[in-house]
Amino acid sequence: MCAAGVWFPEIRRRAARASRPVAESARQASRTRLCARLRGVKTIIEPFRIKSVEPLRQTSREERERLLEEAGYNLFLIEARNILIDLLTDSGTSAMSTAQWAAMMRGDESYAGSESFFRLKKVVQELTGFRHVIPTHQGRAAERILFGVMCRPGQSVPNNTHFDTTRANVEINGARAVDLPCPEAADTQARHPFKGNLDLAALERLIETEGAANVPLVMITVTNNSGGGQPVSLENIEAVKRVASRHGIPLYLDACRFAENAYFIQQREAAYAGCTPKQIAQRMFSLADGCTFSAKKDALANIGGFLCTNDDRLAEQEKDLLILTEGFPTYGGLAGRDLEAIAVGLTEVLDQDYLQYRIASTEYLGRHISERGVPIVEPPGGHAIYIDAGLMLPHIPRHQFPAQALAVELYRHAGIRSVEIGSVMFGDKAPHELLRLAIPRRVYTQSHVDYVVEAILEVNARKNQIRGLEIVSQPRFLRHFSARFRML
Ligand SMILES: Cc1ncc(COP(=O)(O)O)c(C=O)c1O
């Protein structure tokens, strides 16, 4: 295994290159031709080299057994130094580029009117077209402000699938978070290209029964994190926009992984095969009235977020709330250097070679375990592979948390940290018992992933011995972060 890793000979190009609704500029077209010429070798490699490294610490099985017990079998409560491969989240865990680090050095730390803010605003507006860009310290702060301003008790907010913080921020305002995933999403094994789509018929029904006045906004999460990291098609976003507009309801994107979603559209939606990821992202944003964004994902930054809107009146209210809890509207709880890192990351993340490597590396993990009998949410998502622990461990009932049990076993066996997305996280509302293996951006090489594959296959080989868990203590909200368990 070479240090930088050799990835993915099996990558496929699925979409027919049929129509080209957005003309490629002459420069892009010639770059594409140049890349094709240079790419005589088909292996997809990491489109970067490693300049700075962080050592990983090995632990013994006995040590991990003790650490698990001390942490109440909750992997959030284990110190990072005791984790070998950390697939807990792709959020805020990206490796930054030399360009990002360089940009941070020119961070303008002025309280008001920071130049760094105006540089970020320019990049965001060029990408999204939104009039107001309101920085926040991370995505959930944008959610809290948005729903605080827009939601009233008794109202309903539809989404393809609410992420946990999104749901909590809707519900804390007395509104109802309603998940409307497309029917194909119900079957984890179905291979539909856009399983993140929102169910249009269900949306129409909800608006009819609740009344448009009780639906303050419609939201689409791209890609659909809680639904398996599955993408949403542009056709679906356009259709949702038509329904929402007909009823005078604004459409918002939870845009955390907009670039990965754009890449999937380029690969799978024939009408956009000739477009760059940036052009596709611009089209996605152009259909929305605003967005929330966690810069910890597709801005390749370690912290940050923003809230955008085209509505002047809402923006005023949002900025008032921002000042109360986040800070002045030109820094929003962030340092000027963070704003710079986000601005550069938003550009880098749309690079074709980066996105090809990114999606191929996730698929590599998924394919290598699914081909050996581990049931995953099909097809592989953008930022993570989701093992269907309900299918893999049918001997563990839901109330004994099969995905949590699998997470514990994977750590015990190989020091790998993953996260449960099932009944621990969502209680009775969980549609599936999933174990998410989220891939940090630009962090791990192919040999790290090969290690993860081997560990999962070894655990799978003796899966019948894995036991369930019961909860010993839990907080009122978002219990997965701090609940404690006992092995059964
Ligand atoms: C789809 C989605 N929305 C919102 C958030 C919240 O963002 P943050 O962690 O920056 O608060 C996340 C975080 O993982 C997410 O995946």
Asked if 379 and 428 sit in the same domain, the reply is yes
Q: CA 45, CA 330: separation in Å to the nearest integer?
A: 38
Mean pLDDT of the chain: 92
The two beta strands, 156-159 and 176-179, are parallel
Q: Which of the listed residues 140, 292, 342 should we mutate to test ligand 1's pocket, taking the one with most ligand atoms within 8 A of CB?
A: 140
In a domain, 2, yes or no: no
Q: Give the mean pLDDT of 357-362.
A: 96
**Residue 16 placed within a domain:** no
Q: What secondary structure does DSSP assign to 357-400, as a single string?
A: HHHHHHHHHHHHHHTTT--BPSSP-SSEEEEEHHHH-TTS-GGG
The 10 Å Cβ neighbour count of residue 206 is 20
Does pLDDT of 125 surpass 80?
yes
> Which residue would you say has higher pLDDT here, 202 or 44?
202
Same domain (yes/no): 325, 375:
no
This prediction's pTM:
0.91
Look at residue 38 in the predicted model and tell me its pLDDT.
Answer: 56
Nearest CA to ligand 1 atom 16: 225
C-beta contacts of 361-364 below 8 A and 24+ residues apart:
361/7, 361/8, 361/439, 361/446, 361/449, 362/229, 362/439, 363/8, 363/11, 364/7, 364/8, 364/10, 364/446, 364/449
What is Dmax (Cα atoms) for the chain? 63
Q: Compute the average pLDDT of residues 109-136.
A: 98
Q: Is 290 in a helix, a strand, or coil?
A: strand
For 371, the token pair is: 């081909």
pLDDT value, residue 39 = 61
User: Which residues, in sequence order, are CB contacts of 87 under 8 Å at separation 6+?
Assistant: 384, 416, 417, 418, 419, 436, 437, 438, 439, 440, 452
Q: Which residues sit with their C-beta closer than 6 Å to ligand 1?
A: 91, 138-140, 163, 165-166, 221, 225, 254, 256, 294, 296, 305
Beta strands in 191-313 (DSSP E): 218-221, 251-254, 290-294, 305-309
What is the distance in A from the centroid of ligand 1 to the CA of 294?
A: 6
How many angstroms separate the alpha carbon of residue 41 from the centre of ligand 1? Answer: 37
Tell me whether residue 47 is in a domain.
no
Q: Which domain holds residue 309?
A: 98-348
3-state helix, strand, coil in the chain (%, to 5): 45, 15, 40
66 and 196 inside one domain: no
Q: Are 305 and 270 members of one domain?
A: yes
Distance 297 CA to ligand 1 centre (A): 8
| Whether the predicted pLDDT of 1 surpasses 60 | no
Residue in 137, 252, 256 to alter for ligand 1 test, most ligand atoms within 8 A of Cβ = 256
- Decide which of 348, 376, 403 is a domain's last residue: 348
**Percentage with pLDDT > 70 across the chain:** 92
Same domain for 319 and 196: yes
**Would you state the pLDDT for residue 2?**
35
**What is the average per-residue pLDDT within 439-448?**
96
Residue 201 and residue 311 in one domain: yes
- Same domain for 161 and 72, yes or no, is no
- Residue 21 domain-assigned (yes or no): no
* Residue 322 near residue 329, CB atoms below 8 Å: yes
Task: Say whether pLDDT at 465 is over 60.
Answer: yes
Quick one: angle between helices 312-325 and 139-150, nearest 10? 120
Distance, CA of 459 to CA of 480 (rounded, Å)? 23
Domain boundary among 300, 319, 348: 348
More confident residue, 280 or 40: 280
Residue 416 pLDDT exceeds 80: yes
Of 21-25, 238-242, 245-249, 366-370, the range with the lowest mean pLDDT is 21-25
273 and 289 co-located in one domain: yes
Q: Are 438 and 383 in contact (CB under 8 A)?
A: yes
The two three-digit tokens of residue 319, written as one number: 């900025």
Radius of gyration of the chain (CA): 22
Same domain, yes or no, for 139 and 270? yes
In 3D, which of 127, 177, 180 has the Cα closest to residue 150? 177
> Can you give the pLDDT at residue 37?
52
135 CA to centre of ligand 1 in angstroms: 15
**Same domain, yes or no: 258 and 363:** no
Report pLDDT for 118: 98
The answer to whether residue 370 is domain-embedded is yes
Same domain, 75 and 122: no
Task: Give the number of the atom of ligand 1 that is nearest the alpha carbon of residue 304.
Answer: 10
Distance from the alpha carbon of residue 44 to the mean position of ligand 1, in angstroms: 29
pLDDT of 192 over the 50 cut: yes
On whether both 341 and 473 belong to a single domain, the answer is no
Residue 3 has pLDDT above 90, yes or no: no
Question: Residue 455's domain is classified under what CATH number?
Answer: 3.90.1150.10
146 within some domain: yes
Residue nearest atom 13 of ligand 1, based on CA coordinates: 91
SS3 string, 64-131, reads HHHHHHHCCCCHHHCCHHHCCEECCCCCCCCCCCHHHHHHHHCCCCCCCCCHHHHHHHHHHHHHHCCC
pLDDT digits (tens, 9 = 90+) for 375-405: 999 999 999 999 999 999 999 999 999 999 9
Confidence (pLDDT) at 30? 46
Distance 88 CA to ligand 1 centre (A): 13
What is the band of 193 on the pLDDT scale with cuts at 50, 70, 90?
very high
Q: What is the CATH number of the domain that holds 117?
A: 3.40.640.10
With the most atoms of ligand 1 within 8 angstroms of its CB, the residue from 145, 165, 293 to mutate is 165
Distance 141 CA to ligand 1 centre (A): 10
Atom 7 (ligand 1): residue with closest C-alpha? 139
Q: Does residue 319 register a pLDDT over 50?
A: yes
Q: Among 304, 333, 348, give the residue marking a domain's end.
A: 348
Instruction: Please choose from 94, 162, 163 the residue to mutate so as to test ligand 1's pocket, defined by most ligand atoms within 8 A of CB.
Output: 163
Separation of CA 329 and ligand 1 centre (Å): 21
